Amino acid sequence: MDASQVSNVTEMVNALQSPGGIPNHPLVFMVLAVLTFALHILFVQLLLGTSVITIWGSFSKNTHWRRLAAAMLKVAKVSTSVAIVFGVAPLLFVQVVYDPHWYASNVLSAMWVIAFIFILIFAYWGIYYYYFQNSKNKDKTVQPKSRWAMIFSLALMLVVGFIMHSLTSQMLHPELWKDWYTPNGVLDYSGSKLHAYNVWRFAFFISMAIPVAGAMLVSYRRFKSVRSDADHGYLNFAGELGKTWIKVGSVISAALYVSWMMTIPETAGDFATSFWGIIGGVLVLFYAVWAQVRLNGEAKFCSYMALPLALVIGLVVAISREMLRYEILDGFFGYDFMDYKIVFDWYSTIHFFATFLIVGGAVLTYFLTVAWQAGQTVGVYTPSPFVNRLGTIAIWIISIWTFMFLAVGFYVWAFR
């Protein structure tokens, strides 16, 4: 593209910005977008990896595999819910500062945006259908029923992932939006096409499900090993499998990361050889080295570190991903979200962080405490008075937050 074409694209995109501005500094939204994306993609990779284990184990005749499949099904089920919750946040934050790009991409593929919701519902249904079909079976070593439902769910999860990948890729090509909207000079209102994608980028993020699921396995082995009824033969099987998945999966992911960097758009310039272009792949490969060196023998502390380390690596990759987007949209097309008009709204800012830290923190603390203690208890788990108080506090905080939310909404509706 010549300079005049780039200038026209820049003017077009800037004209699409919301004239109302944004309620806080753009950097706040971008930091939150990166952080929540890292959390979201970790649970996406966790649900994909544990779903593969569930499917593989359901077809295996090995009793250890069967037991592991049943255990990882619960992880896949919960991870799906958490991934969906965390998936909303980065979209909200990105659309605030990149609203011209995100909305344009959505309009160009509107049919797929709508289909995304329905496909995700069916994918979620598949996991639960398989779960309820086998939940009454106490013998986890027998062959489960309705295995097709898990395969169906995993396939649809990959479809919704590809849709989101394509929408994100289309944001990076504002120079092509007009051609996509008017192919051969004819307006296309259907929104029935996905116009841009990078197979290597998509494959990289999906492949990270292998080491992340491996991290879950070594943590699972450590978590269950302290129980008096622990089957150490089975748990050692899970731990060794997890270490192998971390090492092999990280090497595969690093190779795919390099392939992604080699196929980024020309508008990214020399990003692939920059610090942020290199560091993501280096840390992914480092994960394999760390597993080889640190996950030896009992590896009590490092077993629990496997998942947090995966999150840290994912966070660095998320930053690299965001720097790539910024390099293209600002470095080449001259769109700098840092220049967005700011109209401070302190109430919404305080309300958001209070919700995130106080409401979310209280409820999450209670749930994690119950899950941790119940998982390490033989027989029926009875929460302590302290844990019961945590639950009561969480309920009161949610109730107060709900009342305030409805009260403010009624005030705005009635008096503004």
Considering the domain architecture, whether residues 108 and 59 belong to the same structural domain is answered as yes
Considering the domain architecture, whether residues 53 and 120 belong to the same structural domain is answered as yes
Which tens digits make up the pLDDT trace of 147-177?
Answer: 999 999 999 999 999 999 999 999 999 999 9
User: How many other CB atoms are found less than 10 A from the CB of residue 183?
Assistant: 12
Considering the domain architecture, whether residues 62 and 185 belong to the same structural domain is answered as yes
Structure tokens at 166: 């394509």
- 3 state DSSP class of 342: strand
* 301 pLDDT tier (thresholds 50, 70, 90): low
Residues with Cβ within 8 Å of residue 95, at least 6 apart in sequence: 102, 103
Q: What is the CA radius of gyration of the chain?
A: 23
Considering the domain architecture, whether residues 397 and 257 belong to the same structural domain is answered as no
In angstroms, the CA 217 to CA 334 distance is: 45
Helix (H) or strand (E) holding 287: helix 275-294
DSSP symbols for 98-152:
SHHHHHHHHHHTHHHHHHHHHHHHHHHHHHHHHHHHHTT---TTSPPS-HHHHHH
**Half-sphere exposure of residue 158, counting CA atoms within 13 Å on the CB side?**
16
Q: Which of 335, 387, 396, 341 is nearest to 366 (CA)?
A: 387
Q: Which of 344, 370, 399 is the last residue of a domain?
A: 344
- Tell the residue number behind the tokens 């979201």, with chain if given: 40
**Between 280 and 357, the higher pLDDT residue:** 280
Q: Which of 36, 67, 368, 59 is nearest to 217 (CA)?
A: 67
Look at residue 255 and tell me whether its pLDDT is greater than 90. Answer: yes
Considering the domain architecture, whether residues 314 and 396 belong to the same structural domain is answered as no
Structure tokens at 21: 């501005």
Q: Which of 300, 325, 344 is the last residue of a domain?
A: 344
Q: Residues in the chain, how many?
A: 416
Predicted pLDDT at 300: 64
Considering the domain architecture, whether residues 80 and 110 belong to the same structural domain is answered as yes
Which residues form the domain of 403? 346-416
Look at residue 138 and tell me whether its pLDDT is greater than 80. Answer: no
Q: What is the mean pLDDT of the chain?
A: 92
Bridge partners of residue 342, in order along the sequence: 22
Distances (CA, A) of 196 to 167, 169, 283, 296: 8, 6, 27, 43
Split into its structural domains, the chain has a count of 2
Considering the domain architecture, whether residues 21 and 132 belong to the same structural domain is answered as yes
DSSP code of 376?
T
Considering the domain architecture, whether residues 207 and 117 belong to the same structural domain is answered as yes
**Between 127 and 380, the higher pLDDT residue:** 127
Q: Which of 313, 58, 78 is nearest to 211 (CA)?
A: 313
**Once rounded to an integer, what is the mean pLDDT over residues 252-279?**
96
Predicted pLDDT at 415: 82
**Between 326 and 380, the higher pLDDT residue:** 326
Predicted pLDDT at 283: 97
**Between 45 and 355, the higher pLDDT residue:** 45
φ, ψ of residue 267 in degrees (nearest 5): -65, -10
Considering the domain architecture, whether residues 273 and 371 belong to the same structural domain is answered as no
In angstroms, the CA 107 to CA 333 distance is: 21
Structure tokens at 346: 């302190």
Look at residue 75 and tell me whether its pLDDT is greater than 90. Answer: yes
In angstroms, the CA 10 to CA 336 distance is: 10
**Half-sphere exposure of residue 391, counting CA atoms within 13 Å on the CB side?**
10
Global pTM exceeds 0.95: no
Considering the domain architecture, whether residues 339 and 350 belong to the same structural domain is answered as no
> Which of 178-182, 280-284, 342-346, 357-361 is most confident?
280-284
Predicted pLDDT at 135: 85
Look at residue 299 and tell me whether its pLDDT is greater than 70. Answer: no
Of all residues in the chain, the percent with pLDDT exceeding 90 is: 70
In angstroms, the CA 178 to CA 247 distance is: 45
8 Å CB contact between 265 and 308: no
**Once rounded to an integer, what is the mean pLDDT over residues 112-126?**
96
Considering the domain architecture, whether residues 162 and 97 belong to the same structural domain is answered as yes
* 261 pLDDT tier (thresholds 50, 70, 90): very high
8 Å CB contact between 123 and 156: yes
Q: Which of 282, 312, 344 is the last residue of a domain?
A: 344
Considering the domain architecture, whether residues 293 and 362 belong to the same structural domain is answered as no
Look at residue 265 and tell me whether its pLDDT is greater than 80. Answer: yes
In angstroms, the CA 135 to CA 1 distance is: 59
